Amino acid sequence: MALLPILCYPDPRLHTVAKPVQAVDARVKKLIGEMLETMYDADGIGLAATQVDVHERLVVIDVSAGRNTPLVLINPEITWASDEKQVNDEGCLSVPGIYDGVERSSAIKVTALDGEGQSRVIEAEGMLAVCIQHEMDHLLGKVFVEYLSPLKRNRIKTKMLKARRDTERA
Ligand code: NI
């Protein structure tokens, strides 16, 4: 197992639209293991394959307090979303240090394959619903800062690029 490098906004590769996973085979299972390890190491609650530069429809999530309840969603599709919306502060491993409010459906139903390739239906609300919607956006090439005003987004972009330059110089 190995930690995978996480792409940072505004890396253009974060805007790639992911393709469906063709088969839950050894390659995909290895990727799931590495994505989980990377997510836990970075103290995140979710990671989409897009963020590690693999453009296939796969996300890993763990919103549990004990950090011991991984959820793997392969080829996820939202089949129902509540009309009721709520605004939650979101963050993202690809936009470190930035947290801001995004409005999303309060509850959703999702179909997906799990890490063993078994078909599953997940009903989610609260933080899990937010996290699934956030991660599924990544698969469409969308980063949460794109919901913010252009002014805020540009400020974040500038901050991220400066942070990258500082790292490269160090
Ligand atoms: Ni994210």
Q: What is the pLDDT along the chain (170 residues), one digit of tens a residue?
A: 789 999 999 999 999 999 999 999 999 999 999 999 999 999 999 999 999 999 999 999 999 999 999 999 999 999 999 999 999 999 999 999 999 999 999 999 999 999 999 999 999 999 999 999 999 999 999 999 999 999 999 999 999 999 989 988 87
Distance 15 CA to ligand 1 centre (A): 12
Distance 16 CA to ligand 1 centre (A): 14
Distance 64 CA to ligand 1 centre (A): 17
Ligand 1 ion: nearby residues, β-carbon < 5 Å: 92
What's residue 169's pLDDT? 84
Our answer to whether residue 37 is catalytic in this structure is: no
Distance CA(63)–CA(50), nearest Å, equals 19
Q: Which residues pair with 46 in a beta bridge?
A: 61
* Cβ 52 vs Cβ 2: under 8 Å: no
- Active-site residue, from 90, 135, 146, 168: 135
pTM over 0.75: yes
Q: How many residues in the chain?
A: 170
Considering only CA atoms, give the Rg of the chain.
Answer: 16
What's residue 150's pLDDT? 97
Distance CA(114)–CA(121), nearest Å, equals 10
Instruction: Give me 61's structure tokens.
Output: 């999530």
